[in-house]
Amino acid sequence: MALRRVLDGEAGGYDADPDQTVEEYLEGWLGAKELTLKPTTYARYCDYVTNDLIPSLGALRLDDLGHRQILALVRRQLAAGRGRTTVYRCLATLSSASGDAVRHHRLASNPASPPVMRRPPSPQRVVWTADEAARFLEYAHVHDPLLADLCEVLIGTGMRKGEALGPHWDDVHLDAGVLYVRYTLSCVDSNRLVITSPKTRNSRNWVAISGRVGEALRRRAAEQRRDAADPRSGQFADLVFTRPDGRPLRPQTLLDRFRRLSAEVGLPRITMHDLRHLAATLTIAAGVPLVVVSKTLRHSTLSTTANIYAHLTRPAARAAVVTIQRVLAQAEEHLTNGGVLPGARGALPPEPRGWLQQVTNLMDPRRAAARPPFEPATTLRPPEDAGRGVGAADLTLFDGEFMNGARRPAPDRDHPATTTPPDTEKAAPSVWRERPPTCVNAGRGDRI
């Protein structure tokens, strides 16, 4: 039986030695994963395998690895003071390695799935308000202009920190108001900078840049021309955000500078990635539809945006409950046929002007005349370099035709495709037509 298993393994391209240890398997697994994983992910896997999994489970035979041994590992780690999030990520690495062993027919089942511990809850996210962000930017523009311009880009576009540090000047098109996200700058083991691809396939896309973000980028271009640093070659050449000597910025150094300035202003302690959440929160609280926010953040699915930002913010949550109160008060007023009930649960609050109200105004012909001209904007495709776009006048004409289309009388003639010659009787509807003789009184087994 053992010889049969070894031969099957040789034919399938995997090591089926029954005496193979967990250490031997994990080392071979890491060697194969180095070819497919991003450098940052591979470095994290190596850290968990080398420092946690092999010292605790490496001497075991791979076939003997089971739920009991993994549970003992988790208890030892927690007793030693390791954080639950770190231990859970270590188990996720072991589950990934064991899952590959199952797919390669090396193991019959994954001993690390289901996990022996639940995923730790995410910490409560702290997001600045618009006033706090404005205070920080005003202070940073005086004391650290480079960091201020970087934060302008992060807040104004919702980009991730690595994505904002990775673009080259060839990716920036200020005249078209577009920035293409093709690279991200990452740090491996806190000492080696690498240029990698964005986080997901949808992340490799373009983002629109506002006038404020464009000014920050123009300041960076002018600063680099003034410093006249020696041009660098390779993957770090012509980066948008660099040190004065042209070298790339280190993410950890930027985080330290960001937190130092935040403390000097007296703002809550957050990370630079939280500026991406700030951009999403500001747009959602302002009434921008969630699908537009999802496209702007370049999430893979709309559900990802909904799950992350379902909490919204306190102002947005307050607007939601105020809407409920207003609807109930209007219902009570309707029941009493004029006026709020004597014991009403609250007066009618002011009506918030969110995106739903804007859509209602658009569909209301009585407000169409007073509506200002609509300025087209889209996040679905980048603007074309050539060709005439749709102007405001075209949209206004289309809007008037759309608003009056439902009430426009039908023309006297039919569409050419449906016009019948005069004095010609139209065919009877299909429900009146007589069935073919072969289908009349046919049984169930005779039907076609």
Tens digits of residue pLDDT in 85-111: 999 999 999 999 999 999 988 899 999
Per-residue pLDDT, 340: 47
Q: How far apart are CA 21 and CA 418, in angstroms?
A: 76
Q: Are 165 and 183 in contact (CB under 8 A)?
A: no
- First-to-last alpha carbon distance for the chain, in angstroms, is 56
pLDDT of residue 22: 94
Residue 74: closest CA among 60, 94, 59: 94
What's residue 384's pLDDT? 55
- The answer to whether 162 and 185 are in contact (CB under 8 A) is yes
Confidence of residue 7 (pLDDT cuts 50, 70, 90): low
Asked if residue 257 lies in contact with residue 271, where contact means CB atoms within 8 angstroms, the answer is no
Per-residue model confidence (pLDDT) at position 444: 44
141-155, 310-324, 332-346, 366-380, range with the lowest pLDDT = 366-380
User: How many C-alpha atoms does 81 have within 13 Å on its Cβ side?
Assistant: 0
- CB within 8 Å of 110: residues ≥ 6 apart: 95, 98, 99, 101, 102
Q: Which of 30-39, 212-221, 437-446: highest mean pLDDT?
A: 212-221
* 181 close to 205: Cβ distance less than 8 angstroms: yes
Q: Are 140 and 148 in contact (CB under 8 A)?
A: yes
In order of 104, 208, 388, the CA distances from 12 in angstroms are 8, 49, 59
- 206-208/178-180 β-pairing: antiparallel
Calculate the CA 287 to chain-centre distance: 18
Neighbours of 349 (CB within 10 A): 14
Q: Give the pTM.
A: 0.65
pLDDT at residue 393 tops 50: no
Cβ atoms of residues 30 and 45 within 8 Å: yes
Name which of 154, 84, 93, 70 is nearest 122 in CA terms: 84
HSE-up (13 A, CA, CB side) for residue 132:
17
pLDDT digits over 329-362, tens only?
888 888 886 554 445 455 555 555 554 555 455 4
The pLDDT of residue 235 is above 90:
no
Q: Average pLDDT for residues 191-209, to the nearest whole number? A: 88
Mean pLDDT of the chain: 78
CA distance 238 to 242: 9
The fraction of the chain above a pLDDT of 70, given in percent, is 69
The tokens for 293 are: 């926010």
Cα 290 to Cα 306: distance, rounded to the nearest angstrom: 7
Helix (H, G, I), strand (E, B) or coil at 184: strand
**Coil, helix or strand at residue 362:** helix
Residue 151: which of 170, 166, 138 has the closest Cα?
138
| For residue 79, pLDDT beyond 60 | yes
Q: Find the helix packing angle between 67-79 and 84-103, rounded to 10°.
A: 160
Which range has highest mean pLDDT (96-105, 229-238, 388-397)? 96-105
